[in-house]
Structures are given as C-alpha cells and as structure tokens.
A and B are shown apart, each in its own frame.
Chain A
Amino acid sequence: MIATEIKVTPQVAAEHGLSADEYARVQKILGRDPNITELGIFSLMWSEHCSYKSSKVHLKRLPIKGPQVVQGPGENAGVVDIGGGWVAAFKIESHNHPSFVEPFQGAATGVGGILRDIFTMGARPIAVLDSLRFGPITEGAGATPEEVARNRRILDGVVRGIGFYGNCFGVPTVGGEVAFEPCYSANPLVNALALGVARRDELFFARARGEGNPVIYVGAKTGRDGIHGASLLASAEFTEESQQKRPNVQVGDPFLEKLLLEACLEAMHTGAVVAIQDMGAAGLTCSTCEMASRGATGIEIDLARVPQRETGMSPYEIMLSESQERMLLVAERGREEEVLRVFRKWELDAVVIGRVTSDGILRVLDHGRLAAEIPAHPLAEEGPVYSRPLAAPPRPAREESIVTFAPEGTDLTANLTKLLAAPAIASKRWIVQQYDHMVRTNTVVAPGAGDAALVRVKETGRGLALAVDGNGRWCHLDPRLGAMHAVAEAARNVACVGARPLAATNCLNFGNPEKPEIMWQFSQVIDGLSEACRALGVPITGGNVSFYNETLGRGIYPTPTVGVLGLLDDDSRALHMGFRASGDAILLLEGAGPATATPAASEMRREFSSSEYARTIHSLVAGSPPAMDLAAEKRLMEALAALAAERLLHSAHDLSDGGLAVALAESGFASFFATESLGADVALEGGEPAEWALFGERGARAIVTASQSALAAIRQFAAQYELGLRTLGTVAQGTFRIRFNGRDVVSSPVAALCASWTHSLERALAAR
C-alpha cells in the first residue's frame, strides 16, 4: 500500500514518469505542491497513453469531417449516420503491452475495453474485429526456435483471450487480420475494433452537466489490479524486467460486462441518465475529470462510497486502479432511484459516490477528508504537448539487394503452393472458429467469406461492412506510402462486399516517440493517412496511438492499422469472395483504366521486392511498396458498389498479399455455394515477367466473377466508370491452371493447393 503521507518531491514525480517541466506545470496549475494522490492523478492523465502529448500536434492533420460524421474524435467512439434514423459507433484500440505480458488477459481486457467504449455511447455492440501482429510462428522465418515457441504461445493466448471475452459477452468476432514479422517477436500487437448501433436520437455522451446531479458508480468493485496500467505499461519501453509488470495487467470478466451492457442500455432508456463514461485506462481518475472537463463543470466524489474488493485501499490506489467492467454515470437529480433500480435488477453494484459541481474542480474526498483537489479542465485538456524532433533515418549506404525475376517459362506451381502456406496468407480457420462469429444473427459475410465482414442492421435492412488493414512491412520501407495502402486496402475490401466506404478509425502502433526517426515515421504515416482518407472520402472518427512498442531498444515496424466502415443499402446484395459456379467468367477490374502501362523493369523489381512473394520465396524485405493511385482506387470502389447494387456479380475479391494468383486460389477455396473448392482456368498475356503478373501487389484491382450472360452489362459499367476490364478465363472444377503467353505457369489439382492453404496454420500451432 502506498501511504497518502508520502512527501512529493521532484524525485518522486520523476518516478511517476513526470519530467521536471511537467512537474513544474503541475505546481503552477495547483499553485502549490501536489500530494501523492494528486501526483498519481496527474501522472496518469499526462501519460503518453492518456494525453497523446507526442502525437497531438500531428493528429490535427487528419481529416475528421464529413456530412456522415455525427461524432468525430474526442468522445469514447466515433459515430456516423447509417440512415433510417440509426447511427454506428466504432473505434479501434490497442492493448499491445498487456498482451505481451499476459496474452490471455491482455487480449481479453482489450476487447472488454473497446466494447465499453461503444456501449457507453448508448450503442449496442454488434461486431468485433481484431488486427494482430506476432513474431514468426514457423521456423526459418527470422526467429530462433525459442522465439517461435514463445510466439506460438502468445498467439494461442491472445486468440483464446479474444474468444473468451467476446463469446461470453455475446458479440460476434467477425473478422480482422493477422500478420507475422520478426520485429513483433518481442512486441506483439493486439488492436481490437468494435462496432455498435444506436438510434440517432438516443446517443449518449460523456459530458457531466447539471449542478447537483448525482454521480453514480456502477459495475465491478475496485481492486488493486491494473494500477499504473496506462502510465507504466503503455507508456514505456519494455526491458528484461517487464514480466514483473504482470500485476499491472487487468483481469477481465465478460459475464459482468454483459450484465453491465444490458443494465446500462436499460438505464439509458429510463431517460434519467445525463452522461456516462466507462472506466478504462486510468479508471476513476480519467472518467471523473474528463466528464467534468467536457461538461464544463466540476465533480466531487467521496472514495469511502466506492465499492471496493479489498480493504485498506488508499485514495491513491482507488483513483489509479484499472479494475475492469466499471462505469461512471451522471443521473438527473431526483431520478437516481430509477437508475439504481435497473442496476439492482441486474444484480450490479450501483452507488451514488458524488455530485456534479459548478466550480470546475475535481474534488476527491476520503471519508469526508480532502484527498485531492485539481481543476478538471487543465488536468484533462492542458497537459503537455510536444513537438518532438523528427529525423528521417539514414539511407542504407550500399544499394540494397532486390529480386531478380525467374526466366520466362518457369513453372511457378511450387512457389504458389508455398505462398499459400505462408502464415500471413494461409487459412485463418484455426483462429476464427474459436470466435463466435454468428451470435446476434446478423453476420451476412462471415470471416473468410469476403474481403470485409458484413453485418446487417435488422431494423433497417442495411448492411455494415468492416475491414481492418495495415502492412507494417510496407510502412517500414516507406511510412507515407505504406499508410496510404492501409487506407486504400481497407476501403477496397469494404467495396468488395458491395458497400460504400463511410468513415475510418485508426490505431497507430509505433516505437519510442523520443527517438527522432520514430517521430519521423509517425509524421509520415499521418501524412499518408490524411491524403488517402481525403481522396477516398473517409474521414477518421477516432482511434488510438500506441507508442513505446519497443523491447530492449528494438522497435516494431511502424504499424498503422486502419478500420474502414462501409454501408450497403440492401443487405441481400452483399458480395462474397468465393466462386459460385464452374463456367462463370473471371474478370479483372482495374481502377487505373483500360490502358494500364507496364512499369519500367527496374521499378517492377523494386516494387516486387516488398511483396509477400519476395519475403516468402526469397526471404527478402526490400524495395518500396507498390505505387499508389488514389483516383484509381476510388473509381474501382464506386464501380464495385454499383455492380453489387445491380446484382451483376457472383463474387468479388481484391488483389492484395500474393497478387492475382493467390486471389484466384482463395476465391476457389472460399466457394460459398459449392460443397468442394473450385478452381480456375486462366490465360494471361503480357510483356512483363510472369511472376510480376501472377504475384505483383499493385492496388486498385479486383477479380470478379459473373455468369456469361452478365458480361455485356458489366462491360458497360466498366466503361462508365473508366475501369480496365480483362477477361481472364473461367471458374473450373477440380483444377487450377494459369497460362501465361500460351504456356502453363501454374497447373495443379485444386485439392493440393487447398491442402497447403488449409492446414498450414493449425500445423504450425499444433506443433506447440
């Protein structure tokens, strides 16, 4: 126990992670020295995790406005209009460090935290997606056998944790992505995205209003778990002692959160709730001062009334605890009994612990004795802001090695087979079947069945598409271009299920911001995100920044993950990626237009060196990401939505990791209507190398299938949207064959390719 009587000195402040300047600022705001509780509160609110002090100056550049945006960044989640009087609330957040220290609970509470952010807004969560990054889980991929074994354990724990929480809570985990790179061995990434829906006129905000209104604490009791989770765990690099931080990881109880969800939504319906905020990172501290600050009021609470799990907790501990499944709400004075009754029905603790005041002060009492007294607005909003130095990393002195294309006529079947087994590409069935992806009976496009997940909104008959993407390898090679690809791919994925991209949320995972090259990466990524979001018309409505993703000084690839939400006006028009019937025409749609020039040979080699193929086949990460044409991306997306609306297509799948050949194979494996996997019979022509044609990862392209009778209409659409359209061949039964300039370059029974793709992940993980 930390005694309240500890004398605060600059030394103690430094131990709390406050710099000398920051401590001076605290003294100035208070007009005196803080006591230990106040210091703890400041250190939490001004931690990187809570204050965004290093990122704020850059985040301002992101586009956040649009006619569809109901609530931009700054609330618990972003909100967009989805028609019919309904809105969608969605947000992505990281839980990286806790998931490394304790994978199961770290991932579980990551899901729990983001779900609370959604239902705090009055929205019922209807979907979760996860973006995961781990070190290699196969040997020979840049990790030692010990690292591989540990990476598998982490992956296993994270997947179990996500399933444990979401399955019990009753929200479907409908999709996401997972990638493997050596840089994530000592710093995995767990980014969880949640989506909820509410009636537009029933949204709730975290703004404490009305002097004298009661402040009510609901949910789990407060314990000593998670103290300093945000300030120590999320805002510092890892060292060898980091395993000792396990007590800083919170423990999740999805059953309690399910009760909290139902009780909160029911309480909101009484009309007696004025404001509500969850107690996530920074717990009671954050929820009290932020609600007061946003509402331009003050809050006074007495900690003696806070339900406590253990005895003898000090004000410092109660204010800093990050115990999960707790909410703070403000009720209308005189109507508190209506609210309390709902929580009693759900057998949850609900206690009036204080009231809203008009003096702008966060006042914390302990049995009536003053324990902390801080102006709420400066605490919440006037934390330090840093314009940290930026410096581009030095270019490598010698020309890096880049790939050489295989000679014409080389049989690429073996390479395709190997690529399909690469963990980044292989079937994710082992993971997704551990998640309940169907509960709530809205999942129209399930994990693996389409480029994005699609959940319907029963009340409106519309569909919400969600995809989350981010390529750390590309951002490492070119942060700005890589970030643009993250946006473009997520939006393209949403378009491939037939939806129009509406808005985006982002999670920015980076190393130590005190290093100028990391801040340079961050700044570049913000520029790339901004440009792509502007061009594609998807404003960013919220998200989260995770710095200090470093262990022993080695940082991760800069890894922005971008979630894009799209709207489909009629859920029955959703597109799947699986081929439907043999004999269907396979077409390639190219946003760049009918006359796409082949790039120069040197450019092709540089680009190809950054591909999944180069990494898997040549063990090479080099060159630069594919060139980006945002106008082409936009044309393709608009055309896909129009084609889906007209029901002209049988399937759609974008070209991404592994290029055309992998996209064709995956579409066959995902056959939705056939009982066994379908293949393809495809003929390509061109002056470029076959490997480029088959495995190149240029964007703004998608393969679609349609019945032969629909081709004329599709051609008209392609012309109208100025798309390139190439007829590649037909869907086949049993065989997978690609000819290039008249010669077979890939030829295999579908079953052989499918076996390589299907069992790769489970084989790696069963070897644990």
Chain B
Amino acid sequence: MKFGVVVFPGSNCDHDTHHALGALLRQPVEFIWHQSEDLAGCDAIILPGGFAYGDYLRTGAIARFSPVMRSVTKFAKSGGLVLGICNGFQVLLESGLLPGAVLRNAGLRFVCEHVYIRVEHADTAFTRAARPGQVLKIPIAHSDGNYFCDHATLRELERNGQILFRYVAPDGRDAPEWNPNGALANIAGIISREGNVAGLMPHPERAAESLLGSDDGLVILRSMVETLAGRERTPAVAERIPA
C-alpha cells in the first residue's frame, strides 16, 4: 500500500500531508511531481492544499492541465482512490472528476479557523472509520470554498448520497451560522458517484495531532488506509494503525 502526494508548483500543504500519512500514520508515502505522468505505483493519490500555479486565472484552472492530472484522471476512472484537500478539491472540480464549482467565500475574505463538519455517510472509502453523523473539528484556510452547483446536480448529489461532509454546529445540528463560506446546502465535501474520488475544503492533515488542537482529521486518512487494506485483503493491517 502506498500513498502519493502530488506536488504542483505552489502546493504548500504537500509536506503537511506527507507528515500526517508518513510520520503519524506510518504509511508509505511519496511525492509525485506535477510534470510526471508516472504515479509510481501508488494505491491512493492526494491532491494537497496550496495555490497550484498561483491560482492564476481561477483556483485549479491551470493545474487541471498539468501532466500529472492526465494520469490522475486515468487512475480515478479505473477506480483508484483520489482525495482532494482544499486546493486539491478545487483541482478535482476543475478537472470534472467531481461535480460543481467553488465561488469566492460569501464574506469575500480568506478564512482560517477550526470548523465543525458532520460525516453524512460513514460507509464510504473515505469515512469508514467514522461513526455515522460523527462531528469532526477540522480547520479550513481558503478564499474560495463556497461550494456551488445547479439545482439538478444538488438533487442528484443528495439522491446518490454524494454529500460527504456538511458544516454544522459543534453539537452536530444543522446551523447556517456555522457555515464559514456560504457553501450551498452547507456542503464541505463531496464524493464521486462511484465512491472512489472525494474532495473537501477542510484540511484533515492539519487536524492530525491533539497538540495542534484536534486529531479528528485522522478519521478520514485512516478510512483511506482501511479501504486500501481491505482491497489488499491483508488481515493484519488493522493492528498497524495507531489508535
């Protein structure tokens, strides 16, 4: 089992993601350069946060054309696990691997703070380690996280169970005042219909150690580890994951 963290020019959460997977979860992980079309045999790909290509033109708009995205798209189409975090989510939206788009935050400012998100479906490749309805305290840091899609798409997302995380109050109830960026239907993250590609605005890798205020983000990364372990059918894997 191996994780790949893509490095676009301007990615700045690549090291943090590598640290969470490698140093904390003790998983094999390597960086994949944006010019490379070789995914180095990775079993899961993470597009990290940052400002890929300076976010010029539009967030993720240039990154989607980079050579590595051709391979990531192929990988995703063949069922590979792909997670986009923040800027990585924006790249997935631009690439069409996930539906919808993000607009400028409703408050028109960059927002960096801890938010609360509720796991809407705990039976996916990215949430299987969570309890249904579990509330996770995870930070956000973005200017453009205001998720948007047309009405038909929203209905489809809801019908297919593709809304993976919603912004909620700390006690888990729906509360628009706890939505930090104006996202449609309080959407913080979504999953592809096939269930192997997901993206979210909050940063699970920043919520991986209680020393830094929360380790709730590990639930998402650990779910991916469990999913890959299940695919490999290696029964001993569960013990390798620190509690």
Q: How far is the CA of A438 from the CA of B112 in the complex (A)?
A: 8
Which stretch (B9-17, B67-75, B96-104, B185-193) binds chain A? B9-17
Q: Are A253 and B212 in contact (CB-based, < 8 A)?
A: no
Please give, as numbers and ranges, the residues of chain B lying within 8 Å of A572 by CB-CB distance.
211
Least CB separation from A446: chain B residue: B213
Please give, as numbers and ranges, the residues of chain A lying within 8 Å of B20 by CB-CB distance.
441
Q: How far is the CA of A167 from the CA of B86 in the complex (A)?
A: 13
Residue in B51, B110, B206, B211 whose beta carbon sits within 8 Å of that of A255 in the complex: B51
Please give, as numbers and ranges, the residues of chain B lying within 8 Å of A436 by CB-CB distance.
110, 112, 141
Q: Are A441 and B56 in contact (CB-based, < 8 A)?
A: no
Q: Are B209 and A441 in contact (CB-based, < 8 A)?
A: yes
Q: Are A255 and B205 in contact (CB-based, < 8 A)?
A: no
Q: How far is the CA of A435 from the CA of B213 in the complex (A)?
A: 17
Least CB separation from A172: chain B residue: B112
Q: How far is the CA of A160 from the CA of B208 in the complex (A)?
A: 28
Q: How far is the CA of A437 from the CA of B50 in the complex (A)?
A: 13
Q: Are B54 and A253 in contact (CB-based, < 8 A)?
A: yes
Could you count the A-B residue pairs with CB atoms below 8 Å apart for me: how many are there? 83
Least CB separation from A458: chain B residue: B19
Given contacts A255-B56, A437-B112, contact A168 B10 (CB under 8 A): yes
Q: Are A439 and B12 in contact (CB-based, < 8 A)?
A: yes
Given contacts A436-B141, A439-B141, contact A255 B54 (CB under 8 A): yes
Q: Are B16 and A434 in contact (CB-based, < 8 A)?
A: no
Q: How far is the CA of A386 from the CA of B96 in the complex (A)?
A: 65
Distance from A429 Cβ to chain B, minimum over Cβ atoms (Å): 8
Whether a CB of chain A sits under 8 angstroms from the CB of B43 is no
Whether a CB of chain B sits under 8 angstroms from the CB of A580 is no
Least CB separation from B52: chain A residue: A255
**What string of 1s and 0s marks CB contacts (under 8 Å) between B86-129 and chain A?**
00000000000000000000000111110000000000000000
Whether a CB of chain B sits under 8 angstroms from the CB of A716 is no
Q: Are B10 and A441 in contact (CB-based, < 8 A)?
A: no
Residue in B19, B23, B110, B170 whose beta carbon sits within 8 Å of that of A434 in the complex: B110
Whether a CB of chain A sits under 8 angstroms from the CB of B53 is yes
Residue in A255, A432, A437, A442 whose beta carbon sits within 8 Å of that of B10 in the complex: A255
Q: Are A440 and B51 in contact (CB-based, < 8 A)?
A: no
Q: Which of B35-94 contact A (CB under 8 A)?
A: 49-51, 53-56
Whether a CB of chain B sits under 8 angstroms from the CB of A675 is yes
Whether a CB of chain A sits under 8 angstroms from the CB of B145 is no
Q: Are A439 and B13 in contact (CB-based, < 8 A)?
A: yes
Q: How far is the CA of A572 from the CA of B56 in the complex (A)?
A: 39
Whether a CB of chain B sits under 8 angstroms from the CB of A163 is yes
Q: Are A433 and B111 in contact (CB-based, < 8 A)?
A: yes
Distance from A450 Cβ to chain B, minimum over Cβ atoms (Å): 12
Please give, as numbers and ranges, the residues of chain A lying within 8 Å of B182 by CB-CB distance.
none
Q: How far is the CA of A640 from the CA of B176 in the complex (A)?
A: 43
Q: Are B112 and A433 in contact (CB-based, < 8 A)?
A: yes
Least CB separation from B10: chain A residue: A255
**What string of 1s and 0s marks CB contacts (under 8 Å) between A417-446 and chain B?**
000000000000000111111111111101
Residue in A160, A170, A434, A443 whose beta carbon sits within 8 Å of that of B12 in the complex: A170
Q: Which of B201-231 contact A (CB under 8 A)?
A: 203, 205-206, 208-209, 211-213
Distance from B191 Cβ to chain A, minimum over Cβ atoms (Å): 25
Q: How far is the CA of A254 from the CA of B10 in the complex (A)?
A: 9
Q: Are B16 and A444 in contact (CB-based, < 8 A)?
A: no
Q: Are A168 and B55 in contact (CB-based, < 8 A)?
A: yes
Distance from A454 Cβ to chain B, minimum over Cβ atoms (Å): 10
Please give, as numbers and ranges, the residues of chain A lying within 8 Å of B109 by CB-CB distance.
160, 434
Whether a CB of chain B sits under 8 angstroms from the CB of A642 is no
Given contacts A253-B54, A572-B211, contact A441 B9 (CB under 8 A): no
Whether a CB of chain A sits under 8 angstroms from the CB of B139 is yes
Q: Which of B1-35 contact A (CB under 8 A)?
A: 9-10, 12-13, 15-16, 19-20, 23
Least CB separation from B14: chain A residue: A170
Please give, as numbers and ranges, the residues of chain A lying within 8 Å of B203 by CB-CB distance.
438
Q: Which of B123-147 contact A (CB under 8 A)?
A: 139, 141
Q: How far is the CA of A123 from the CA of B137 in the complex (A)?
A: 32
Whether a CB of chain B sits under 8 angstroms from the CB of A632 is no
Least CB separation from B35: chain A residue: A345
Q: How far is the CA of A406 from the CA of B12 in the complex (A)?
A: 55
Q: Which of A572-610 contact B (CB under 8 A)?
A: 572
Please give, as numbers and ranges, the residues of chain B lying within 8 Å of A259 by CB-CB distance.
9-10
Least CB separation from A124: chain B residue: B15
Whether a CB of chain B sits under 8 angstroms from the CB of A169 is yes
Distance from B136 Cβ to chain A, minimum over Cβ atoms (Å): 15
Whether a CB of chain B sits under 8 angstroms from the CB of A258 is yes
Please give, as numbers and ranges, the residues of chain B lying within 8 Å of A446 by CB-CB distance.
213
**What string of 1s and 0s marks CB contacts (under 8 Å) between A141-181 and chain B?**
00000000000000000001001000111100000000000
Distance from A261 Cβ to chain B, minimum over Cβ atoms (Å): 10
Least CB separation from B33: chain A residue: A345
Distance from A79 Cβ to chain B, minimum over Cβ atoms (Å): 22
Please give, as numbers and ranges, the residues of chain A lying within 8 Å of B206 by CB-CB distance.
438-439, 441
Q: How far is the CA of A93 from the CA of B212 in the complex (A)?
A: 29
Whether a CB of chain B sits under 8 angstroms from the CB of A205 is no
**What string of 1s and 0s marks CB contacts (under 8 Å) between A256-292 and chain B?**
1011000000000000000000000000000000000
Q: Are B112 and A434 in contact (CB-based, < 8 A)?
A: yes
Residue in A169, A255, A441, A456 whose beta carbon sits within 8 Å of that of B16 in the complex: A441
Q: Are B110 and A163 in contact (CB-based, < 8 A)?
A: yes
Q: How far is the CA of A253 from the CA of B208 in the complex (A)?
A: 31
Q: Are B211 and A440 in contact (CB-based, < 8 A)?
A: no
Distance from A124 Cβ to chain B, minimum over Cβ atoms (Å): 10
Q: How far is the CA of A446 from the CA of B170 in the complex (A)?
A: 20
Q: How far is the CA of A645 from the CA of B208 in the complex (A)?
A: 24
Q: Are B212 and A168 in contact (CB-based, < 8 A)?
A: no
Q: Are A169 and B110 in contact (CB-based, < 8 A)?
A: no
Please give, as numbers and ranges, the residues of chain B lying within 8 Å of A255 by CB-CB distance.
9-10, 51, 53-56
Q: Are B211 and A439 in contact (CB-based, < 8 A)?
A: no
A169, A435, A439 — which one has the most chain B CB atoms within 10 A of its CB?
A439
Q: Are A441 and B205 in contact (CB-based, < 8 A)?
A: yes
Whether a CB of chain B sits under 8 angstroms from the CB of A571 is yes
Q: Are B112 and A444 in contact (CB-based, < 8 A)?
A: no
Least CB separation from A163: chain B residue: B110
Distance from A81 Cβ to chain B, minimum over Cβ atoms (Å): 24
Q: How far is the CA of A760 from the CA of B112 in the complex (A)?
A: 20
Residue in B51, B54, B211 whose beta carbon sits within 8 Å of that of A444 in the complex: B211
Q: How far is the CA of A667 from the CA of B112 in the complex (A)?
A: 22
Distance from A160 Cβ to chain B, minimum over Cβ atoms (Å): 8
Q: Are B50 and A441 in contact (CB-based, < 8 A)?
A: no
Least CB separation from A258: chain B residue: B10
Least CB separation from B171: chain A residue: A675
Residue in B53, B110, B112, B208 whose beta carbon sits within 8 Å of that of A441 in the complex: B208
Whether a CB of chain B sits under 8 angstroms from the CB of A408 is no
Distance from A427 Cβ to chain B, minimum over Cβ atoms (Å): 13
Whether a CB of chain B sits under 8 angstroms from the CB of A346 is yes
Whether a CB of chain B sits under 8 angstroms from the CB of A347 is yes
Q: Are A435 and B112 in contact (CB-based, < 8 A)?
A: yes
Please give, as numbers and ranges, the residues of chain B lying within 8 Å of A435 by CB-CB distance.
110, 112
Given contacts A168-B55, A434-B112, contact A440 B213 (CB under 8 A): no
Distance from B85 Cβ to chain A, minimum over Cβ atoms (Å): 12
Distance from B115 Cβ to chain A, minimum over Cβ atoms (Å): 11
Q: How far is the CA of A557 from the CA of B20 in the complex (A)?
A: 47
Distance from B28 Cβ to chain A, minimum over Cβ atoms (Å): 19
Distance from B209 Cβ to chain A, minimum over Cβ atoms (Å): 7
Residue in B23, B54, B110, B139 whose beta carbon sits within 8 Å of that of A438 in the complex: B139
Please give, as numbers and ranges, the residues of chain A lying within 8 Å of B212 by CB-CB distance.
438, 441-444
**What string of 1s and 0s marks CB contacts (under 8 Å) between A659-693 and chain B?**
00000000000000001000000000000000000
5 A-B pairs (CB sep. < 8 Å): A167-B110, A167-B141, A439-B206, A441-B19, A444-B211
B contact set with A: CB distance below 8 Å: 9-10, 12-13, 15-16, 19-20, 23, 49-51, 53-56, 109-113, 139, 141, 170, 203, 205-206, 208-209, 211-213
Q: Which 4 pairs from chain A and chain B are nearest by CB?
A: A170-B12, A255-B54, A436-B141, A441-B16
Known pairs A434-B111, A436-B141. 7 more at Cβ < 8 A?
A: A170-B12, A255-B51, A259-B9, A433-B111, A438-B139, A438-B206, A446-B213
